[in-house]
Structure 1
Amino acid sequence: MKRLIKYIISVLVVAAIAVSLWLYYPTYQIRQMKEETAPTSAQAALSYVDYFSNMDKETLTHLAIGDSIIAGFGSENEKSFVDDFSRLLEEQTGKTVALENEGILGINSTNLNTLVQRGAFDEQMKRADLITINVGGNDILEMLNQGDYKNVVANFDSMRGTFIQNLTAITEKIKQENPSATIVFLEMYNPLKQNHNLYKVADQLLPKWNVKIYETARQYEHSIVLETTKVINSQHLQYLSSDGVHPNALGYEALSKQMLKQLKKKPFIGSV
């Protein structure tokens, strides 16, 4: 009997460790990747903003592709964060920033990848100095619409795998058309209140999703991840529009400032 009890306890301990690793290891991985990219004193001399300022051209081209976050849905002034950011970049560099906003409401990663592979943005990619990408939220929403949150949890790994395949293919296409373009990916954020019955589920799953975005960015030179979760979270619900999902004008402005902050801080070296 004692052996049986010890065996059961051992199994429970192993199971608890496995669950903890499944839930919390992605958060640790993200933190480690952020720390790896912290600039040394020598590297800090040239940031991304410095790089754009020093480019031998008067006009910088900013291409933005993806979903409703790129399009600016939810903003009272009909401007997205890429509009706000482009204006801030103009102020910082003294150059004109030509924004080409190709955000499409409701698009998922598979459909965006299909457009990219068909060459829908080839000419824009070739001339872009900066390319911002946000996609993936509708992948989850479409799965949620097919059932309840249990459906999302049950199919999470498969859904995430499809998303990363699409994001990697999109990035490969960009680098094929324009190896020198800087790419900014967006984290997926949790817009729910802490007392929402699905808040903890979302908070546990999103790091597993976001870590794959960081791993993708890590594979390519001049690619970074915008830390949207620092801006939009349960502590900053004032940044959400009335639908409780998309940012409002203040939220988009806050995202643009976060993007500028990161590009002023990140060293312009290889994969960051």
Structure 2
Amino acid sequence: MFCKSFLICSLFFLLTGCSSEQSAKHASKTVSLMGKAEPSEAFVPATINLVGIGDSLTRGLGDESDHGGYFGMVKEMLEQQDEIKEVLIDNYGVIGYKTSNLQNKLSEEDVMASIKEADIILMTIGGNDLMGVVRNHLFSLDFEPFRKEQKHFENRMRDIFTEIRELNSSAYIVYVGLYNPFTYMLSELPELDTIIDEWNRASQQIVSKDGNAVFVKVDHLFSSVDDDTLLYKDKFHPNENGYSIIADQVFEAIIESPLDRFANQQ
């Protein structure tokens, strides 16, 4: 069973939720595209439809800059590529969303229309499902309720992928995995790392079965107990620094598949 300090800290994070922002600058690392063949004369740069769905991380909560979190940063990175003329965006990330909320969101007409036209779909979801277990079991936290909820989470994730593919069979889906925001304050609780790893492995299996989707692992980026400069003032969401490194990982996952597949050939 988790220790009392974890319960107190968890309750604090849940009650404080989204607080005021903390500013920090971080230089995004340069992703090299050296060695790529020059496009042919018939090559026409593409217009990319980029759609975001999920929770507060896709919304960009915690980024005090004007980049819009990892979603906005990835948009800017894509716009810098020769293969891309412009990036049109729709961001449906909503603060507090769980997988059940996202299921309902996918039935809204404007969301359905955007997904039908999407070339790339970026998604974060699951963190609030996990934290819901904390809220509902404050005084009896152990592995069992997390693993029970994980089964429901997996079923909803499968349904989400099914719903997306019924609307769009060809969009490239990028799912960003979960990380442990309590590493810095509760490093003595490796149990939570184990739980997050189990949820991530379950998500990765679902994503891998899609065939045109990728799981982006980020928990290792937030695993240092020496430094919390990647987190927003609420000690839960990423700040500009944190979103920048997430954006780097997402962008690398996108360009592993040639961008010119989106371009028009005359």
Q: 1:72 corresponds to which residue? A: 60
- Decide which structure has the larger Cα Rg and report it: 1
Deviations 1:218-264 (A, max 9, x none): 11121001121243222562111111110001111111111112233
Q: Contact between 2:45 and 2:84, CA under 8 Å: does it hold in 1?
A: no
> Which of 240, 248, 260 does residue 257 from structure 1 map onto?
248
Q: Does 1:200 pair with 2:190?
A: yes
Q: 1:184 corresponds to which residue? A: 174
Q: 2:135 corresponds to which residue? A: 145
Deviations 1:34-83 (A, max 9, x none): xxxxxxxxxxxxx9xx9xxx996631011000101011111112521110
Structure number with higher helix proportion: 1
**How does the TM-score come out when normalised to structure 1?**
0.73
Q: 1:86 corresponds to which residue? A: 75
> Which of 37, 45, 60 does residue 48 from structure 2 map onto?
60
Q: 1:133 corresponds to which residue? A: 123
**How does the TM-score come out when normalised to structure 2?**
0.74
AA of the residue aligned to 2:138: D
Deviations 1:82-140 (A, max 9, x none): 10001101112342111211110111111111221455521001110000111111112
Equivalents in 2 of 1:136, 1:130: separation in Å? Answer: 20
Number of aligned positions between the proteins: 221
Equivalents in 1 of 2:241, 2:89: separation in Å? Answer: 20
Cα pair distance change 1:245/1:198, threshold 3 Å = farther
Name stretches of at least 5 consecutive residues in structure 2 with no aligned partner. 1-35, 260-266
Name stretches of at least 5 consecutive residues in structure 1 with no aligned partner. 1-46
Deviations 1:191-226 (A, max 9, x none): 223561663111111111001111111111210011
Q: Report which structure shows greater RCO (CA 8 Å, sep ≥6).
A: 2
RMSD value, Cα: 2.9
Q: Contact between 1:80 and 1:249, CA under 8 Å: does it hold in 2?
A: yes
Query: What percent identity do the matched residue pairs reach?
Result: 24
AA of the residue aligned to 1:242: K
Q: Contact between 2:208 and 2:215, CA under 8 Å: does it hold in 1?
A: no
AA of the residue aligned to 2:133: M
Equivalents in 1 of 2:132, 2:199: separation in Å? Answer: 16
